[in-house]
């Protein structure tokens, strides 16, 4: 069948006009979302994404219209209907449909989903370029909310400079990327920002911790500044969409060409999902 969508209570065509004008997501960005990757017809790390989805809902007082198990059934049915082997599944929950008002309206939440073709991963051997921007977002970045205006503006600045990512820094401290978590490698140790409210607690980020432990590579959740990042032996970022992507340039700083740890983790992550196929 190909790409497919689900809105509220039924499966629909990917281009069907189904979102009401008074949908809270449309008017306020009042909701949460997740993106999961499909490899070889199987959803990767779905349970982990659903658990983060639940935590985001709790953080904004959003009540599920049905159970997580029911959501999982809808997601898997959507994938089955699509008959796609390689895909990205986006799902979101909003506070519902109501005349516009700022306070919670007391209407049922709305679940929706799309199953689409997977975006290209990018060339991991080449890596990606990045720019550093001031982190001007709100202080609850651990919530995977629909309010992504600062992120998309940062991403656009990166794209306009032919870069793959924008790296946020708050008061000189590196937090994360516009759509990723950021890591620096120095003297064989991997560093990344602690999992506070100021960053998204990435699912791929968590898997990198597991893979690093398996490879006996030490990791530290420790704040570091932009100078430390630019003087690192290696740097990489992670997300569901790019997996583990080495960084070859940050602003005007050329990173070392040798990337043994980044490459090892990228390969280990690939092997992880290939085992599930």
Using one digit for the tens of pLDDT, what is the confidence trace for 137-193?
A: 999 999 999 999 999 999 999 999 999 999 999 999 999 999 999 999 999 999 999
Find the domain containing 260 and state its range: 128-274
For residue 122, tell me if it sits in a domain. no
Question: What residues have CB less than 8 Å from 256, skipping those under 6 apart?
Answer: 233, 234
The residues annotated with a catalytic role in the active site are 144
Residue 275, pLDDT > 90, answer no
In the DSSP assignment, the letter for residue 172 is T
* pTM, 2 dp: 0.95
Do 263 and 231 reside in the same domain of the chain?
Answer: yes
Do 184 and 74 reside in the same domain of the chain?
Answer: no
Do 112 and 166 reside in the same domain of the chain?
Answer: no
Percent of the chain with pLDDT over 70: 99
| List of long-range contacts for 12-17, beta carbons under 8 Å, 24+ apart | 14/114, 14/116
Q: 10 Å Cβ neighbour count for 262?
A: 24
Do 147 and 72 reside in the same domain of the chain?
Answer: no
Of 89, 117, 145, which residue constitutes the final position of a domain?
Answer: 117
Do 71 and 148 reside in the same domain of the chain?
Answer: no
For residue 45, tell me if it sits in a domain. yes
| Mean pLDDT, the chain, whole residue set | 96
Do 238 and 211 reside in the same domain of the chain?
Answer: yes
Question: What residues have CB less than 8 Å from 60, skipping those under 6 apart?
Answer: 30, 32, 143, 145
């Amino acid at each position: 069948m190909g790409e497919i969508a689900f809105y509220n209570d039924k499966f629909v065509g990917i281009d069907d006009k189904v979102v009401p004008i008074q949908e809270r997501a449309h008017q306020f960005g009042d909701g949460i979302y997740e993106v999961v990757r499909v490899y070889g017809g199987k959803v990767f790390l779905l349970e982990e994404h659903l658990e983060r989805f639940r935590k985001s809902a709790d953080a904004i007082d959003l009540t599920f219209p049905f159970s997580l198990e029911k959501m999982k059934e809808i997601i898997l049915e959507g994938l089955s209907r699509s008959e796609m082997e390689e895909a990205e599944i986006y799902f979101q929950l909003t506070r519902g449909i109501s005349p516009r008002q700022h306070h919670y309206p007391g209407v049922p939440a709305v679940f929706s989903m799309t199953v689409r073709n997977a975006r290209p991963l990018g060339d991991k051997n080449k890596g990606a370029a990045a720019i550093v921007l001031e982190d001007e977002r709100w202080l609850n970045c651990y919530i995977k909310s629909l309010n992504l205006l600062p992120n998309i503006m940062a991403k656009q600045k990166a794209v306009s400079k032919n870069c793959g990512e924008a790296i946020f820094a708050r008061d000189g401290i590196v937090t994360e990327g516009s759509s990723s978590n950021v890591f620096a490698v120095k003297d064989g140790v991997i560093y990344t920002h602690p999992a506070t409210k100021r960053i998204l607690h990435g699912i791929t980020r968590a898997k990198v911790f597991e893979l690093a432990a398996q490879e006996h590579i030490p990791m530290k959740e420790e704040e570091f500044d932009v100078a430390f990042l630019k003087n690192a032996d290696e740097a990489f970022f992670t997300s569901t969409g790019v997996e583990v992507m080495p960084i070859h340039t940050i602003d005007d700083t050329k990173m070392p060409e040798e990337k043994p740890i980044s490459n090892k983790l990228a390969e280990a992550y690939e092997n992880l999902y290939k085992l599930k196929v």
